[in-house]
Amino acid sequence: MQFLNERECGYDPERVGFPSISGCLAVVYLAQDGLYGFHNNGGNNTTDLINDRARLMAGYVRGLNKHAKGTHLYGASFIGGGNRRGYAGTPRDSWLAELKRFAKALAFSGPVSGCDLGQLNTTHSAYVEFRRVGQSCLVLAKPWVDATSGKVTAPNPDSPSHQSVRGNQYTNVITSIDVSGLTMLDLDRLK
């Protein structure tokens, strides 16, 4: 299991978790060999910045597995009920446009699905977890409250499978989180 903080990429055959998603976008590329995740932090989401981060994630995926054959691309953020991602125009259209940039960088033309974290009905950020079930994913989440997160950090046990988006290897990463109380969320097929 990989837990990915802001601007971290990670790979796991079965599960990828994202602490503190609020204005961020949790991106998961499901391939035949497992889940490749990227915690795309919020902020200045210009087209150039999104394209740059999409290329960096694609480079990470190719660096781990040149032949990773994708079957689905996912993205989770607070879209409706506040648009915490800060999308201009129609948030759902902008959300799909951002995910399409990741798909293009990954040379992926398959299905794209999204999970609107507004389903949680919380003012907090969210802990989001993608679990592989065959060649699809379940998305589970709960409100993220730092005081009760139960997170544990330790030296990075597997640096190639857990890196910063720029390819730097972290000394310390989250190795454990209290995942009790997760709720399964609905996915929307965006493309």
CATH assignment at residue 66? 3.30.1330
Report pLDDT for 99.
94
The secondary element (H helix, E strand) that includes residue 96 is helix 91-105
User: What is the total count of domains within the chain?
Assistant: 1
What's the longest Cα–Cα distance across the chain?
42
Range of the domain at 118: 2-189
**15-59 tens-digit pLDDT:** 999 998 998 999 999 999 999 999 998 755 667 778 888 999 999
* Least confident piece of the model among 74-88, 91-105, 124-138: 74-88
Interatomic CA distance for residues 70 and 28, integer angstroms: 10
pTM of the prediction? Answer: 0.90
Residue among 19, 28, 21, 8 at smallest CA distance from 130: 28
Burial classification of residue 167, based on how many CB atoms lie within 10 Å of its CB (0-12 exposed, 13-18 middle, 19 or more buried): exposed
